[in-house]
Every structure is written in C-alpha cells, then in structure tokens.
Amino acid sequence: MAKLFAVTIVVIVILSAIPIVRNTWHPMEDISTHGQAIDDQLSETMIEAGISFLASQFILAWFIWKFSVSKTQSKKASPVESRSFPGGAAGVVIASFVLVGAEVLALGAFGIKAWANIYFTPPAADAMPVQVQSGQFAFYFRYPGPDGKFGPIHPDMINEANQNIFGLDTDHDPDSKDDIVTAEMAIPVNREVRLLMHSKDVSHSFYVPALRIHQDFVPGLDLQLHFTATKVGRYEIVCSQLCGLGHYNMRAYLSVMSKEDFDSWLKKQATLQ
C-alpha cells in the first residue's frame, strides 16, 4: 500500500510539472520598459520553486518506498533498520532552515533590481504627469492642461451627479480651470508617464497586466509610479483590491496612442469638460 502511495506521489508530481515545463500558458505581452526584469524574476522563481518541489516530492516518495513494510512483514518481530538524520531533529530543522532560507534570499537578491528599477529610480524630468483617483467603483483621470499644473482638490466639493469627480473649484482656483478630467486614460507611446495616485475612499489597486504595473491605493497616501508604454493599443485597467460590492465591475480602459492621436484626443477631451 505504501509503495502504491509512493508511486502515486511521483505520478502526480510529474503530471503537474509537465504543463509548466512545456510553458503552455504565456503571460500577456509585455509593453513596458521595466517589465522584462519582472518576467525574468517570475521565471527564476518558477524554476527554483519547481526544482525544490520536484526534489522534495521525489525524496519523500523514495523514503516512503524504501521504508515501506508489507502487512505480513510488519507482523515479524524485527523492525526495519533505519538511520537518523545527522544531528537528529535539530539537525533537520537547521538544514531545512539554511536550505530554504538560502533559496528565498537568493530570489530576493535577484529581485531587488527589478523592484528598485520601478520604485527607487526617480521619474524623468519631462515625464508626463497624469493623476488617477480611485473610488467605489470607477477610476477617473486628470490631466493638468496647458498650464501644466493640477488645481487643488476639495473633497467636500466632490459631486459625482454633477461630474465634479475630483472636487475642483474652477470658480476660485485658476489652476483648475484648464484641468481635463476623463473616464478613460490615454497616454502617448514611448513617453514616460508619471502617475499620481490617490483613493477617494477605501483601498483599491491599479493593475495593468500588459504594463507590468500593479500598485495598491492606500487611503490617505499620495503614491507615485512611473512607466513607459512601448506599444499602441487598448488595455484594461482593473481594480485588484477588494473594495466593496462593485469591485468586480471596477475598471477603466488605457489607450496607448501615437503622439498625434494623443494630442487630438486630449484636445477633444478638453472640449467635453
């Protein structure tokens, strides 16, 4: 029975490893400049974890096979000879601690560069600023307009029925007058974008798989991200932090356009304010 169990383990392990090794599922095409490091990190993690998984399961199966005893055998008096791990239980704990710890540290060390690339490098001086406000259950965006400045936000003036999403006081704040508020996000291709993020209410998350961007909105924090899109197209921004009953419906669309298309889009949006 035990031998059958050992064989079953080996079969399940091999069957589950096959589709991963064959790479049958491909992540969405990466259209960002920083995404390659993230994809590499993911691959390395899969390989390391995969090897550890296979090794641990094969060793487990081998031990089960080697020390398995049939019913008739177990009725005999003499026990099966076994040896203990050097150092006993303490030795096993220390060994696994060192092995697993080394693996995790290695992955962390390799991943630092991918992380720092996004979070510890400043945006370019001419990066285009776009603001995004997440709120139950939609994303809205704001462009600073020709003056290049974002007007102040007055949360007490937020009135979604009147389409004053950001709480702008265009009557009294001159910087707000030319701000362009949109429900869709558009950016020019190959231009670095500085994304200013805040939440109107609870925690949300800005997730664009193709851009390899995934950042939580934390209520009360003003967060920044910078990235560059390298391919024209229409992509989905989905909220990936459970935020309430409409979380499933919370999304917006990101259009990456040529510079000319983006300029005319922004001009058109300005007339729709």
Partner 1 sequence: MNRQSGYRAFAVLSGALILTVVMMVSQRKVKASPPSESSIMGTVKLDGTAPHQRPIDMSKEPSCAAEHKANPVTTENVVVGSGGGLKNVVVYISEGWSGPEQAASGTPTWDQHGCQYIPHVMGLDVNQHFKVTNSDPTSHNIHPMPKPGGPNHEWNKSQPSGAPPIDTSWPAEEVAIHVKCNIHPWMSGYMVVVKGPYGVSDDSGSFKIENVPPGNYTLTAWQETYTPQTQKVTVAAGKPVTANFTFKAK
**Where along the sequence are the contacts to partner 1 (CB under 8 A)?**
135-139, 160-163, 165, 182-184, 244-246, 249-253, 272-273
CB of 140 or CB of 150, closer to partner 1:
140
- Please, what is the minimum distance in Å from the beta carbon of residue 268 to partner 1? 11
Cα 45 from chain centroid (whole Å): 15
Q: How many CB atoms lie within 10 A of CB 134?
A: 27
Tell me whether residue 175 or residue 184 sits nearer to partner 1 (CB atom): 184
What's the CA gap between 91 and 131, in Å, rounded?
A: 55
Q: CB-wise, 34 or 177, nearer to partner 1?
A: 177
Q: How far is the CB of 215 from partner 1 (least distance, A)?
A: 19
Closest approach, Cβ 16 to partner 1, in A, equals 37
CB of 258 to partner 1, least distance (A): 20
- Find the shortest distance in angstroms from Cβ 272 to partner 1: 5
**Residue 136, CB-side half-sphere exposure with 13 Å CA sphere:** 9
At 234, the amino acid letter reads R
DSSP states of 206-220: EEEGGGTEEEEE-TT
To partner 1, the closest distance from the beta carbon of 222 in angstroms equals 21
Nearest to partner 1 of 191, 251 (CB atom) = 251
Q: Residue 186 gets which letter from DSSP? A: E
What distance in Å separates the CA atoms of residue 220 and residue 203, rounded to the nearest whole number?
A: 10
Smaller CB distance to partner 1: residue 117 or 170? 170
**Calpha distance 239→139 (Å, rounded):** 9
> In terms of C-beta density within 10 A (0-12 exposed, 13-18 middle, 19 or more buried), how is residue 164 classed?
middle
> Among 18, 20, 19, 38, which residue's Cα sits nearest to residue 28?
38
Measured from the CB atom, the residue of 1 and 161 that comes closer to partner 1 is: 161
Which residue reads 């600023």 in tokens? 129
- Residue 103 or 173: the one with the smaller Cβ distance to partner 1 is 173
- Burial class from Cβ neighbours inside 10 Å (0-12, 13-18, 19+) for residue 103 reads middle
- Parallel, antiparallel, or unpaired: how do β-strands 204-208 and 213-217 relate? antiparallel
CB of 168 to partner 1, least distance (A): 12
